[in-house]
Structure 1
Amino acid sequence: MALTSSHLQLIRQTFHDLIPQDPEMEVFFGDVFYRRLFSQHPELQPLFHTQLAEQAHRLVTMLRWMVDHISEPATFAAQVHALGERHLKYGVKPEHYDQVGEALIWVLQETLGEDFTPAAREAWTETFGLIASTMRGLA
Structure 2
Amino acid sequence: MARQMRLNNRMRVRVEGIDDIVRALQRADEELKKELHDLISECAEIVFREADARVPIKSSKSRNTLRIEIGEGKRGYYANVVVGNGTGKADPYYITFYELGTSRQPPRPFMRPSLDKSKSKIRTRLIEGLRAAIERQGR
Question: Does TM, scored on the shorter chain, surpass 0.5?
Answer: no
Larger % of helix: which? Answer: 1
**Higher radius of gyration, 1 or 2:** 2
Length-normalised TM-score, structure 1:
0.32
Length-normalised TM-score, structure 2:
0.32
Larger % of strand: which? Answer: 2
